Amino acid sequence: MSQLEATIRLEQRFAILRDVIAGYRIRLQDMEKEVVELFATNQLSAISACMGEKQRIVRLMNRLEQFIVQWESNNTDVGIAHEPKREHLNT
């Protein structure tokens, strides 16, 4: 695999992670509506479960976002770094 192919594949994986995060954001917006509906019908246990799920999603989103930022900022080079090829010395 060439350096370019590795870079493209890695970028595709981060794009997928960003799509997952975007999906979580949409889910959180939907959950806000659900909580309002649950509150209107006084379903406190369901509200509590929904809030627990929201906290889990927010934690997961934060960890994924931190992972992406940390990895992209610290690793500008893709792949395994190898020592330069050594010349064979005749001794």
Contact 70, 14 (CB under 8 A): no
Query: Which tens digit of pLDDT belongs to each residue from 69-83?
Result: 888 787 655 444 444
- The pLDDT value recorded for residue 71 is 83
Contact 15, 68 (CB under 8 A): no
Contact 62, 17 (CB under 8 A): no
Q: What is the model's pTM? A: 0.69
Which of the residue ranges 5-9, 49-53, 66-70, 78-82 has the most confident prediction, judged by mean pLDDT? 49-53
